[in-house]
Chains A and B, each alone.
Chain A
Amino acid sequence: MRDSHRLLAGKLVLFAAGMFGFGFLLVPLYDVFCQVTGIGSRTGLPTAATVTAENPVTDRIVTVEFVANRNQQAPWEFRPAVSSLEVMPGKLYDTTYFARNLTDRQLVGQAVPSVAPGQANKYFKKTECFCFESQEFAPAEGRDMGLTFMVDPGLPEHIDRVTLSYTFFVNQQVAAN
């Protein structure tokens, strides 16, 4: 094999290896992108928002819809207490989700929230949420889990309906991490 072939082929192999690395570099890049734009959810599990004061906007009503999902036939009963609430931006509200362990084993669950439309995500503030930590259930135990939230008055004017959706996973992965 001629040296010039070897040299060019070597450079191209390095280029290919570099692009393999770039594929993985896309993961942190995506995280940065999500943090900047406030969309996407690879920024880790949710944490509590701090709300210092309530300043209700009395002349605006936003409908908040609550959705519950299970993933891959997870053995839960899982549903919101109410399917929707009409709320004033800037005011704190309480609601609950109900979950029941349908197995005869102890289960740990983790709820992962998602807000639609994506633009509303950063204006939907949860001060207390069952999604902040994993939930342990005794065999066949069922209970209500609390959620306190506020819709920030900064929510863009054209959004009058926000959907909060939880997917309740059986927590094997989260425990492993």
Chain B
Amino acid sequence: MSATTTHDEHHDDHGPAKGIMRWITTTNHKDIGTLYLVFALAMLFVGGAMSLVIRAELFQPGLQFVNPDFFNQMTTMHALIMVFGMIMPAFVGFANWMVPMMIGAPDMALPRLNNWSFWILPFAGTLLLSTLFMDGGGPASGWTLYPPLVLQTGNALPFAIFSVHLLGVSSIMGSINIIVTIMNMRAPGMTLLKMPLFVWTWLITAYLLIAVMPVLAGGVTMLLTDGFFGTSFFQAAGGGDPVLFQHIFWFFGHPEVYIIILPAFGIISQVIPTFSRKPLFGHDSMVYATASIAFLSFIVWAHHMFTVGMPLAGQLFFMLSTMLIAIPTGVKVFNWTATMWRGSLSFETPMLFALAFLFLFTIGGFSGLMVAIAPADFQYHDSYFVVAHFHYVLVPGALFGAIAGAYYWLPKWTGHMYNETLGKVHFWLSAIFVNLTFFPQHFVGLAGMPRRIPDYATQFADFNAISSVGAFGFGFSQLLLVYVVIQCVRGGEKASAQVWDGAEGLEWTVPSPAPYHTFEEPPLVR
């Protein structure tokens, strides 16, 4: 793909406003992208602190630091914050910053909506966190909010539900914006199949979000009316069935896991070709694989609930459809590997994170295949094996994808190179500690340690101690990321427009740092 830019210096008359009002009233996609990313980084540490409470308690068997009820609030809030407050906003931030620049658009299609969808987030997050200070504490039923347990939550229940509503509204608005931008504002010549993979994965993710966030909103609304208005959607006493909630939740919940991972796939698909100095192998097959994953995600939800008592035909259907997902995912992994084949590789920090993603996400994918086996799932279900599985796809998967993207585009955002040495130190600390944290959890899970439990049998003590050491190491290593980012914003070696010599795409044709307004005249893509 080649492009011509027409970027001249006529934008100085409407640069950013000064002071705090710049950030509150901004409709600029780059400002809003930055806000999303900063919010996500802050939430990473809030959710991370909660996970450290969990790991501190689990360092030894017995109860040391917190009471079991607070422990359960921590597992629940850690998940809700990390999923809705950290990783999803982080990827929306990447989309805001990069999608318009990658398709040659001057801004997002609906800039005021964009401002609104971000500024809902801090309020929703505060509402959610405030539940920890209420009578009876925050929700403690796990992020899946299963009734009847969740209906025993104290005053926090309606607040938690309203915050889920708000977070959902925010991501639906963000998704509508992204879809309209991609469909309507591509530069001339940027046909759909010429779009970079990151844009493609976000287009598909946005459709997934619009399809399933409203279903979750409906489900939690039913919880609300069951709890306060005497309906019996899930109350067995009134003829309802709690299992129905599990179906509704996972009809949302399984596409949700792809909502989290697909943008990371997109980032990796940008990073690996850059540092392999080769175009992405099988670009179109990557698009079709992403679309197949998205389609399949709608018909596999009940593999989360094999143990509720399902007809044999149902178990077989959900087992086999789940395993089908391994095919398009395998296509992706092979394409990334083939991109590197005979490439001229170099190992800057974004590439290191991308390689760790490729290897460790695949481990998480394989353990996913294991839990997909319905008869074996009875052993894995609700055990630490499941915790290990989904943390492998979420932390060295989605989070490493986001970190790779941050290092990759930081020079474009700030105009400075980050400190490569510190970046590599951050990578090695993260890569070692993440495995130290989550790998032993496979073993305790297979041996029968249940999840969401503050105490455990002494036979699990050693692996849990290792896991806790890893978690604290991983958590504190991320402070290095903050340091590198701040250092890079403040100064450093000047970055060129191209930044990486193997980088291709429209975002690298504008100067670094990217001017406040880019592509006011659309570039021509050939």
Contact = CB atoms under 8 A, between A and B. Distances in A.
Q: Do A and B bind each other?
A: yes
Interface of A: 1-2, 4-5, 8-9, 12-13, 15-24, 26-27, 30, 34, 37, 39-45, 71-72, 110, 112, 116-119, 167, 169-174, 176-177
A30 B217 CA distance: 18
B236 A169 contact: yes
A147 B211 CA distance: 47
5 smallest beta-carbon distances between A and B, as pairs: A23-B218, A169-B237, A20-B214, A118-B309, A42-B241
B237 A174 contact: yes
A170 B238 CA distance: 11
Given A12-B210, A117-B309, A112 B237 contact: yes
A8 B184 contact: yes
Contacts of B214: 16-20, 22-23
Q: DSSP class of A's interface residues: helix, strand, loop or mixed?
A: helix
B110 interface: yes
Contacts of B230: 172-173, 176-177
B212 interface: yes
Interface in B265-281: none
Contacts, number: 123
A110 B232 CA distance: 14
B236 A41 contact: yes
B120 interface: no
13 contacts: A1-B110, A2-B109, A9-B176, A12-B176, A23-B248, A24-B218, A34-B241, A37-B311, A42-B239, A43-B239, A112-B236, A118-B310, A169-B236
A174 B235 CA distance: 10
A45 B245 CA distance: 18
A72 B148 CA distance: 9
B239 A26 contact: no
A150 B113 CA distance: 63
Nearest to A118: B309
Interface residues of B, number: 43
Interface string B214-251: 11111100100000001011011111110110011001
B160 interface: no
B212 A19 contact: yes
Given A2-B184, A20-B215, A167-B236, A9 B244 contact: no
Nearest to A1: B110
A19 B215 contact: yes
Nearest to B248: A26
Contact of A23 (B113, B217, B314): B217
A15 B210 CA distance: 7
A105 to B, nearest CB: 18
Nearest to B241: A42
Contacts of A43: 239
Nearest to B210: A16
B179 interface: yes
Given A117-B309, A173-B237, A22 B215 contact: yes
A1 B112 CA distance: 10
B309 A71 contact: no
Contacts of A12: 175-176, 179-180, 210
Contact of A9 (B110, B218, B247, B309): B110
Contacts of A21: 218
Contacts of B248: 23, 26
B152 interface: yes
A20 B237 CA distance: 26
B236 A177 contact: no
A177 B211 contact: no
B251 A26 contact: yes
A167 B244 CA distance: 18
A73 B458 CA distance: 31
B422 interface: no
Interface string B168-209: 000010011101100110000000000000000000000000
A38 B105 CA distance: 55
A16 B172 contact: yes
A37 B309 CA distance: 12
B455 to A, nearest CB: 23
A57 B17 CA distance: 86
